[in-house]
Amino acid sequence: MDTVSLAKRRYTTKAYDASRRIPQATVDALLEQLRHSPSSVNSQPWHFIVADTAEGKALLAKSTAEGYAYNTQKLLDASHVIVFCTRTEMTEEHLNAVLDQEAADGRFRDEQARAGQNQSRRHYVNLHRFDQKDVQHWMEKQTYLALGTALLGAAAHGLDATPIEGFDSKVLDAELGLRERGFTSVVILSLGYRSEADFNAGLNKSRLPASQVFTFL
């Protein structure tokens, strides 16, 4: 797979063809790729909410009504919309669940390896929780790693996509009952197929030259 071509081809879609739906097999493959996103010490501090019905997308669009109306149609017309949520706390329950899943998946040769992984992960959690005091920001950074995985995955499947930060997270959290579940919304991803009205599709991609963004030692 030519990932450079994928990176050059993908762009932020501004308008979707509401009549086109992503095949379910493609959605399933993308979500499985998303589930396997990397995260620091395999902390996986995320949850993803997928809307593929008119009712579900309209519910999400409520978060754009005040101040972000320019994003409303990107949610309503897309085939699928994913809300990327981050934990509001790194709980004992979650840490134990991750460790148990690693054990079930055969990650540990013995109990010593299991204990070492547990100690290492907790070290980094406590580093951000107590010393750097940025555990929420740290968890959100892991969620953005997942967003990057989804964007490249969407391009690989020939899908158009729009990462959206222009929404009211307080409204969306309330509509979805996220905070009661220990999560908060951080970014939304619209997925589907662009419409002919998408002006951005015909514009050249622009990035700073390699000479300015790379330093070689």
Q: Could you give the CA distance from residue 153 to residue 30 in angstroms, rounded to a whole number?
A: 6
Q: What are phi and psi of 139, to 5 degrees?
A: -65, -40
Cβ atoms of 98 and 38 within 8 Å: the answer is no
Ramachandran class of 155: left when φ > 0, alpha when ψ lies in -120 to 50, beta otherwise: alpha
E-only strand ranges, the chain? 46-51, 80-87, 160-164, 183-192
Structure tokens at 12: 């932020």
Closest to 89 in 3D by CA, of 145, 38, 139, 144: 139
Residues labelled as active-site residues: 14, 74, 165
Query: Which element (helix H / strand E) includes 34?
Result: helix 24-35
Structure tokens at 46: 């995320």
Q: Could you give the CA distance from residue 217 to residue 209 in angstroms, rounded to a whole number?
A: 18
Closest to 14 in 3D by CA, of 176, 216, 200: 200
131 by DSSP, 3-state: which?
Answer: helix
Query: Hunting for tokens 């790693």 — which residue is that?
Result: 145
